[in-house]
Structure 1
């Protein structure tokens, strides 16, 4: 029953999180460009927009649902359920916010959904408990690697990536860094259960969570300014979900499929998500959207 409640909370989190992203996108496009060299001024500018402030308030409520879900179910199960939120992005964009979604973006969303569904159906169903215990060396290596990947994505054009894709790359960086935070939070739920509040405050993973969340905040805000809403939101959620699903297996020991077919299907699922990530961005549309907002 606990795992089922965690799944329900994850579904609520998926809807609320996407809603917050769309409000943040509207607000961020009204503000001056995010400049990490002036973090306090940038944060003040962003929060001066009522739409961005509303989006952050909604995102905070989504985060609470997320933490509760992680405390009740294995991280891989929670993230696969959250990944279903990708299905909602296109519909919410058109119906609630009047954002036009092109054919290429619909194909990208559809392939992402297919890949995530494959991940969902190939995960073993015999989970027992929340799977909060973890391997410390695996945790350190995994989190350090994700920080490195996020840093490279943030640098973008400085390391030779196309400038027109920088908004989507920042969205991916934000997703990876949100993944760092989610993995650390999952570890903290186990530590809190065994050692209480004192163990929580003394844990280095609390500070990893804070650092990753701050970096993800600025990356996400700048990505929403530089890119179109649908691809940036989709790639942020997908990057967070894929990295945390991988962490469930590598760090927390969530079980792999019991058959060769299941493992192959999971490989195909990850490949579909990668192809979808290449299809979803629409540089010209993104440029038009940013120009219109300006």
Structure 2
């Protein structure tokens, strides 16, 4: 019975998290452009939007439901449910928020959901032996922070404007991964040393990654297509967390040929889906032009 409850909580988590992102997208696009040189003013403007505040609230609810889900059901089962939740992005965009979702994006989201579900199925159940390698932790977090930094700088280094939102979304997902891996390490430290473990440097890493992701996410929702940005953010964060579990905490990998082949295929499917999910450049440009004209007419 507990597994069924966990599955239900995971499904509700997918709904809350995705719905929260759409609310934040609406809020982000009714405030001035995020200016990293004035972070406090930008944060005040964002939180001043009722849509954005509601989205953040739903995001917290989604996080709480996720914690409840993994406490009640096997992690692999929860991952499968959350993977299927990727398709909800298109349904919500089309039915609730009036976004146009083209066939290419439907295919991309469907392939992404299948790839993530296959990855969850092929990964062995259970966690690592406990504890983590400090060297692996430092190296992994350092690589992720480097990749995230490059993606954050992309819009400032001459990257095509139509790719800015996707690059920022990928950076956001990576930073969420940095934060989640740091929090996991923090729980290990507290488990070994008690409440004094809260003084661990991983607290600083988690806070800085979370704060940076807050602004990166807002900028991605302002610059990019909502469907693409939400899908890429969630998928990148999911992949980063799975990789962290394997590399840092020693979570088991598939040992048989079928499992290895399935895992490799799953990653290929996610990569191809990530390329399909962004809206075509021409339609994105046209949509932005339409918004601009609409705003001018108003």
Verify same fold: TM over 0.5: yes
Q: Deviations over 1:126-161 (max 9, x none)?
A: x2x686522211111111111111111111133443
Inter-partner Cα distance in structure 2 for 1:182 and 1:230: 23
Unmatched segments (≥5 aa) in structure 2:
none
3-state secondary structure, aligned to 2:96: helix
Is the aligned partner of 1:145 residue 2:143?
yes
Q: Which piece of structure 1 moves more, 11-20 or 58-67?
A: 58-67
Give yes or no for contact 1:75–1:186 (8 Å, CA) kept in 2: no
1:1-294 pair list within 5 angstroms:
9-67=9-67, 79=79, 81-125=81-125, 127=126, 133-199=131-197, 201-282=198-279, 283-291=281-289, 292=291
Q: Which piece of structure 1 moves more, 237-246 or 60-69?
A: 60-69
CA displacement at 1:290 relative to structure 2: 4.4
CA displacement at 1:227 relative to structure 2: 0.8
Q: Deviations over 1:198-232 (max 9, x none)?
A: 21x21111111111111111011010011111000
CA displacement at 1:37 relative to structure 2: 0.9
Inter-partner Cα distance in structure 2 for 1:72 and 1:146: 30
Inter-partner Cα distance in structure 2 for 1:270 and 1:175: 16
- Structure number with higher relative contact order (C-alpha < 8 Å, ≥ 6 residues apart): 1
Q: Report the RMSD for the aligned CA atoms in angstroms.
A: 2.5
3-state secondary structure, aligned to 1:97: coil
Q: Structure 2 vs 1, CA of residues 69 and 177 (structure 1 numbering), >3 Å: closer, same or farther?
A: farther
* Structure exhibiting the larger radius of gyration computed from Cα positions: 2
Q: Deviations over 1:61-110 (max 9, x none)?
A: 22333455567788777555433321211111112222221111111101
Inter-partner Cα distance in structure 2 for 1:187 and 1:73: 22
Question: TM-score scaled by structure 1?
Answer: 0.89
Inter-partner Cα distance in structure 1 for 2:215 and 2:81: 26
CA displacement at 1:14 relative to structure 2: 2.2
Give yes or no for contact 1:74–1:254 (8 Å, CA) kept in 2: no
